[in-house]
Structure 1
Amino acid sequence: MKTSLSAESAFADAAAGAQKYSRVAVLLHWMIALLILANVALGLTVALMPDGSLSDTAIRFVIDTHKSIGITVLGLAIVRVLWRLTHRPPPLPAEFPSWERAAAHAAHVVLYVLIFAMPLSGWLHDSAWVAAASHPMYLYGLVPWPRIGFIMNLDAGTKEQLHAQFGALHTACSYALYGVLALHIAGALKHQWVDRHSVLRRMMP
């Protein structure tokens, strides 16, 4: 009897494990999510604070930290995609209708595109900054990080125009990311609490 129960328990554990993402995928998912939330907070800190409420040194620290986190997210996103391509994700619950499966897939694709577009547009925006040459960038104040060379080598007028355009693109991507993240979270909560599909545990440690 004990042997039978042990076998059933092992089978149940294996079946539950097959429905979960790998530990590496879970770690990358939550690291990227937390870093994005931190960067949203940093961006809003500068945008919403009244003029003159922060010193130039404090503003520079917040902006430089925002840039460093953005580059970190870009690196982690590359690792996440490579891991996803080489490790098959767990299937969605069988109860999901086909349209929900298609919607979930489309939302993930858009989410990945925006996760890449955000740091890349920010990097372009920073590289077009007219003072970039005299203000080298360091990740977390320690590691030198290059700007995009061909952008920096443009004339000042062109860089100023591109700086504004890339900034607008970065802002647009951020709002789009907020919307997709809200839908992603709402969908996960709906499936968990309304439909009673255990989707959250697939990405939990």
Structure 2
Amino acid sequence: MESAPAPVRRYTFIAMVLHWLVAILMLVNIALIWSVDLLPDERIRPVIDAHKSIGITVLGLVLLRLLWRAANPPPPLPDGYPRWEKAAAHSAHVALYLLILALPLSGWMHDSAWKAAGEIPMYWFGLFQWPRIGWITQLDPVFKERLHDVFGATHVWLSYLLYALFVLHVGAALKHQYWDRHAELQRMLPGRADGG
């Protein structure tokens, strides 16, 4: 007589919501910033403002996710995974969290070092003014302009790293789901506890 498959050890519903919300917002933000060069001049500023607002939102959501994760540890990976895959998955998750934190922070620093930051306030989705980082805004204008370039380049290079890690993350999940026949996606999708 065949034994029933082990139930899927899944993330909590809150972890799932935060995971997919951050993923969707980041994809929207990528689409927004890639569209800037295709837009007429009068549409660029609203798109950049939306990009900034989404970035700040992602920063808040990933901090919430880290707090939730600390109080609600994620389910362990299935026992059948080789040790090296478990170590690689752990390292990739740490790197993803670091990048998802570093990207909005570097963008916020880049915006705070902008020479027009004093004249053009930043608003969170047009609802209320979002502060610039005070110690950056108070710097000498020449040095601040150099920092603006450094923070901007850092933001761009971090985004390239995130794209690569995102492809690796999705590829690994799909490989486990469809090649190895593990119930990998069910761990992060709502549904019955048995994965059915």
Q: TM-score, normalised by structure 1?
A: 0.88
In the alignment, the residues of structure 2 paired with residue 109 and residue 200 of structure 1 have an alpha-carbon distance, to the nearest angstrom, of 19
- Provide structure 2 residue ranges, at least 5 long, that are not aligned to the other structure: 191-196
In the alignment, the residues of structure 1 paired with residue 7 and residue 178 of structure 2 have an alpha-carbon distance, to the nearest angstrom, of 19
**Runs ≥4 residues deviating over 4 A:** none
2:7 is aligned with 1:16: yes
| Alpha-carbon shift at residue 182 of structure 1 (Å) | 0.2
Tell me which residue corresponds to 2:23.
33
Tell me which residue corresponds to 1:6.
none
2:51 is aligned with 1:66: yes
2:145 is aligned with 1:155: no
Kindly provide the CA deviation profile for residues 21-51 of structure 1, in whole angstroms up to 9, marking residues without a partner as x.
Answer: 00000000000000000000011011x42xx
| Alpha-carbon shift at residue 159 of structure 1 (Å) | 1.1
| Alpha-carbon shift at residue 55 of structure 1 (Å) | 2.5
| Alpha-carbon shift at residue 16 of structure 1 (Å) | 3.3
Kindly provide the CA deviation profile for residues 45-85 of structure 1, in whole angstroms up to 9, marking residues without a partner as x.
Answer: 11x42xxx5123x1110000000000000000000000001
Tell me which residue corresponds to 2:115.
130
Tell me which residue corresponds to 1:55.
41
Tell me which residue corresponds to 1:3.
none
| Higher gyration radius (CA) | 1
Q: TM-score, normalised by structure 2?
A: 0.92
- Tell me the amino acid that sits aligned with residue 44 of structure 1: W
Tell me which residue corresponds to 1:197.
182
Percentage of pairs with the same residue: 56
| Alpha-carbon shift at residue 96 of structure 1 (Å) | 0.1
- Tell me the amino acid that sits aligned with residue 195 of structure 1: D
- Provide structure 1 residue ranges, at least 5 long, that are not aligned to the other structure: 1-8
Aligned residue-pair number: 187
In the alignment, the residues of structure 2 paired with residue 93 and residue 200 of structure 1 have an alpha-carbon distance, to the nearest angstrom, of 12
Give 1:165's match in structure 2, choosing from 120, 129, 150: 150
- Tell me the amino acid that sits aligned with residue 40 of structure 2: L
The residue matched to 2:7 in structure 1 has which SS?
A: helix
Tell me which residue corresponds to 2:193.
none
**RMSD value, Cα:** 1.4
In the alignment, the residues of structure 2 paired with residue 202 and residue 145 of structure 1 have an alpha-carbon distance, to the nearest angstrom, of 36
